Copies of this chain bind each other. A is one copy, B any other.
Amino acid sequence: MNNSMTEGSEPTLTDKFQRGNVLASSCPSRSILQDVTSRWGVLVLFALLQGTHRFSELRKAIAGVSEKMLSQTLHALEADGFVLRTAHPVIPPHVEYSLTDSGHEVANRVEELVNWIEVNINPILSARDKYSSLKSD
């Protein structure tokens, strides 16, 4: 695994061997993980892999998001340094969102997960059907 971040301070060896910490509730990774794996966070990262998008474009691209949730999700991802917000001072407002370098890193991993699920969706769904028919017997 490669670790490339724009912000300096590379992870130390100690960091690398302090593994499995997410399972401890106090671990700050939990909070980051929740931003990234939140219902809309996943989809925003995935959508931004296609390139820069405006707010309204993201809203259209990600079917079902409310403006409130999209705004909230983008803020969280921006705070974590995964998303870059560029506001052009015009009226009506024009704001663009794109992935930072670290955002690209997480988004790539999210994409792998999403892709695997999309490719294997059929067997998974039939597993679901089989399960629910067993349970209803």
List the interface of chain A (C-beta within 8 A of B).
1, 3, 5, 7-9, 11, 15-16, 18-19, 21-26, 28-29, 32-34, 36-39, 42-43, 46-47, 61-64, 78-81, 102, 105-106, 109-110, 112-128, 131-132
Q: How many identical subunits does the complex contain?
A: 2
Chain B residues lying within 8 Å of A114, measured Cβ to Cβ, are: 22, 29, 33
> What residues on B are CB-neighbors of A119 within 8 Å?
1, 3, 11, 15-16
Do B127 and A7 touch across chains, with their CB atoms under 8 A apart?
Answer: yes
Closest residue of B by beta carbon distance from A129:
B79
Q: List 25 A-B contacts (CB under 8 A).
A: A1-B119, A7-B123, A7-B126, A7-B127, A11-B122, A16-B119, A19-B118, A22-B114, A23-B62, A25-B63, A29-B117, A32-B124, A33-B114, A33-B117, A37-B37, A37-B38, A37-B39, A37-B113, A78-B131, A79-B131, A80-B128, A81-B128, A102-B127, A106-B116, A109-B116
